[in-house]
């Protein structure tokens, strides 16, 4: 199965106390996202709160998503970790259970450089056969995977096929899509760059908002691929107010709040991340109400 189109950086539903992964809610969310038109999932990513999950929870999370998709959508399992050892273990597990590909953020907290990052990706490639997606998110990892590094990675490690770029670096996006699309496939991972990425015909996106906005994102992507830029721009103008709200405060809290408002049971974020304040909740709820119901998850239309 190839990876392209709208990939949901799927949230991790928790029980109301935040102590356990709500497996039933996760399965229901996978089914609803597929009904909404999603092309793939990224479990245990940033929006999936991987940094507050145990090793066993991360394993189980990917297992559930692979089981529930049952071949209906791709699964790009995030297996990045603070140690190469754990990243290898998570990646081997993802391959064993049938993930489509793996995505790896570079180790964080203990800062590393390009040579260590290269060795990290090489070690995972040596341990697995799955295609690899490099995950560039310098605000969280402390290392910006620039164009030269990404091209070198793809040339030297053939399994590196993709990059999810959440750096919000529009110049880098332009260069990768315009000059190096034959070497590495670019997935936009930054909400505010959805429109310019699509204008440059980006083949895919990995979005937290796809948990509840897949219909709109799918329409935008299809319009872009068909060369109907006007339709993509019109859609962007409709969803931009919601994206602007989510861009302030905790993104994960915002995505989960939007899901709950629209009828998707996902539970709270796990501490130490705080839930939305009542004021933010009402602001987001008001913005979501302005959207055409056909642009949001079908769960909102059956309430």
Which residues are known catalytic residues? 135, 164
Token pair recorded at residue 50 = 């991987």
Secondary structure of residue 7 in the 3-state scheme: strand
Contacts 24+ apart (CB under 8 A), 20-25: 21/53, 21/57, 21/60, 21/61, 22/265, 22/266, 22/267, 23/60, 23/64, 25/265, 25/266, 25/267
Measured CA to CA, the distance from residue 81 to residue 72 in angstroms comes to 27
Q: Is 211 in contact with 29 (CB distance < 8 Å)?
A: yes
Residue 112 burial (C-beta neighbours within 10 Å; 0-12, 13-18, 19+): middle
Measured CA to CA, the distance from residue 6 to residue 156 in angstroms comes to 28
């Amino acid at each position: 199965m190839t990876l392209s189109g709208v990939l949901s950086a799927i949230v991790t539903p928790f029980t109301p106390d935040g102590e356990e992964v709500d497996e039933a809610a996760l399965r229901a969310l996978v089914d609803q996202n597929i009904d909404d038109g999603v092309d793939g999932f990224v479990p245990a990513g940033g929006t999936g709160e991987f940094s507050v999950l145990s090793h066993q929870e991360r394993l189980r999370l990917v297992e559930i998503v692979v089981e529930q998709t049952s071949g209906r959508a791709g699964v790009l399992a995030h297996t990045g970790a603070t140690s190469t050892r754990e990243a290898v273990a998570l990646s081997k597990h993802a391959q064993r259970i049938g993930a489509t590909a793996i995505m790896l953020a570079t180790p964080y907290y203990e800062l590393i450089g390009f040579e260590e990052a290269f060795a990290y990706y090489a070690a995972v490639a040596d341990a697995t056969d799955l295609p690899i997606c490099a995950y560039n998110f310098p605000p969280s990892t402390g290392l910006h995977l620039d164009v030269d590094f990404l091209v070198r990675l793809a040339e030297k490690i053939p399994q590196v096929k993709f990059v999810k770029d959440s750096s919000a670096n529009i110049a880098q996006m332009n260069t990768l899509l315009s000059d190096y699309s034959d070497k590495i496939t670019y997935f936009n991972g930054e909400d505010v760059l959805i429109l310019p990425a699509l204008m440059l015909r980006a083949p895919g996106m990995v979005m937290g908002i796809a948990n509840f906005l897949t219909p709109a994102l799918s329409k935008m992507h299809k319009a872009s691929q068909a060369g109907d830029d006007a339709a993509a721009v019109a859609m962007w103008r409709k969803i931009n107010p919601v994206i602007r709200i989510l861009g302030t405060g905790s993104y994960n809290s915002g995505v989960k709040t939007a899901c709950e408002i629209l009828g998707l049971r996902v539970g709270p974020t796990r501490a130490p991340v705080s839930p939305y304040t009542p004021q933010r909740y009402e602001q987001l709820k008001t913005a979501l109400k302005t959207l055409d119901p056909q642009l949001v998850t079908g769960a909102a239309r059956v309430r």
